Amino acid sequence: MPLKSVYRKDPPFVVSYDYFDYSNGTGYDIYYGFSNAGTEGTITQSGFYSGMIHKNGVEVTLTDQNTYYELLDFDWDIIFNIPRSIKGDILIQIPFGVLNNTGSTKDFNIKAECLVYHYNGGETQIGSTATSEELTAVNLDNGLIRSHITTLKINAASVVNFAKGDILRFTIKVYAKCTDAASSRVYGGVGCDPQNRTDATIQLVSNDSQEIQIINTDEPTQMVFHVPFRIQT
């Protein structure tokens, strides 16, 4: 007697969430930013190591004491393998900092910024650009750091639908201005370690931009994205 063919059907995909906002009908997933071998990415577990505890930009010279200068501009992407719909408050936790490399004591103001995009071949911004509180670094000595962690909120007021393969992109920027004199040289950076390890041992060596500590040793380095998904009913 010939054997019957057995056809195996995959079980349906079950969407789970890290926590819920039932009043708004949303479920939140948490993603952690990392950087390995010059590539930025996101994961859903904080137990993984990032190849780099932080990500810093190149040295920037601030020539106008009344102007904020962009120190870095990096993207962190979430690629969806199934269709998803986003609606509600997107929360972004950013550890960031600057290092004075001028050769003398200077006064600085610094801030971070985040933009969120739906990318499907082109970028469509979601909500408004969010900017952190301004930080002051008064009498910041040469080679010293001013760092901070901030949480920003960007509202997706209407439903944004993502098809399979679409990307949710977080563009993070850091800015600084020198308020007491021109021609000040600084580096900016962001923490991006899922394990939240301390950025303690990397120091500036011979102006090598790969050898910079950018987050103070007593402050967090964990970059976190809270994404609100519409609960399908």
The answer to whether residue 197 sits within a structural domain is yes
Give residue 183's domain range. 24-230
> Residue 4 above 50 pLDDT?
no
Confidence of residue 201 (pLDDT cuts 50, 70, 90): low
Per mean pLDDT, which range of 76-85, 91-100, 190-199, 210-219 is the poorest?
210-219
What CATH number should be reported for the domain holding residue 173?
Answer: 2.60.120
The answer to whether residue 185 sits within a structural domain is yes
pLDDT over 70, % of the chain: 88
The answer to whether residue 7 sits within a structural domain is no
* Beta strands at 26-36 and 39-43: parallel, antiparallel or unpaired: antiparallel
The answer to whether residue 176 sits within a structural domain is yes
Confidence of residue 36 (pLDDT cuts 50, 70, 90): confident
For the stretch 147-192, pLDDT in tens is: 999 999 999 999 999 999 999 999 999 999 998 877 899 999 999 9
The answer to whether residue 89 sits within a structural domain is yes
The answer to whether residue 130 sits within a structural domain is yes
- What does the pLDDT average to over 80-85? 95
pLDDT computed for residue 23 by the predictor: 84
Q: How many domains does the chain have?
A: 1
Kindly report the CA angle at 57 between 55 and 60, in degrees rounded to 5? Answer: 155
The answer to whether residue 137 sits within a structural domain is yes
> Residue 43 above 80 pLDDT?
yes
The answer to whether residue 18 sits within a structural domain is no
